[in-house]
Amino acid sequence: MKNSVKINGDVEQISLTQELKDFIKLWKSKPGNLIMVLHQVQEHFGYIPESTAFEVARLLNVPVAKIFGVITFYHFFKLTKPGRNKIAVCLGTACYLKGSGDILNEFSRQLNVEIGETTADGEFTVEAVRCVGCCGLAPVITFNGEVVGRVSSKDVSGILEKYMI
């Protein structure tokens, strides 16, 4: 079932799927339901489309401001659609001390994109993250969730070439 409709060519109106609506129904009266529901919505779309936040508010019967308050409080939740490929550079202490800041800047430079943003063609999102739990491999990046360890800024072009194929 298609759940995305373009309005006026630039505003995208995305609706919750029936599966997500059923999930909300199931969780409606349970404590902590808002976080659970937002996790589920983000897992489905890769982010939380603004229009779905309004639907969640209506279905859970909570103010829209509360929904956006939670989304903006937790860095995990995203309101913008991520790129097809997600590059996350760890800036945790172990990685940072081994030069991950330079790696992050190199991805940003080579892809011509600001940190935390997506390239104009929608192919890559570059972001900084905290410790991903692989400090022994520092400095670490993840590429679409796959951990790549002992990276140097000289490896950046090779990594991009490998994943662009």
* Cα–Cα distance for residue pair 138/153, rounded to 1 Å: 13
Distance spanning both ends of the chain, measured CA to CA: 30
Nearer of residues 60 and 140 to ligand FES, judged by Cβ: 140
Nearer of residues 95 and 156 to ligand FES, judged by Cβ: 95
Nearer of residues 87 and 140 to ligand FES, judged by Cβ: 140
Q: Which amino acid is at 129?
A: V
Using Cβ positions, the residue closest to ligand FES within the complex turns out to be 92
Nearer of residues 41 and 140 to ligand FES, judged by Cβ: 140
Q: State the minimum distance, in angstroms, from the CB of residue 115 to ligand FES.
A: 16
Q: State the minimum distance, in angstroms, from the CB of residue 42 to ligand FES.
A: 23
Site residues, ligand FES (CB under 6 A) = 90, 92-95, 131-135, 138, 140
- Burial level of 82, CB count in 10 A (0-12/13-18/19+)? middle
Q: What torsion do the CA atoms of 137, 132, 146, 32 make, to the nearest 10 degrees? A: 160
Cα angle at 149 between 103 and 83, to 5 degrees? 60
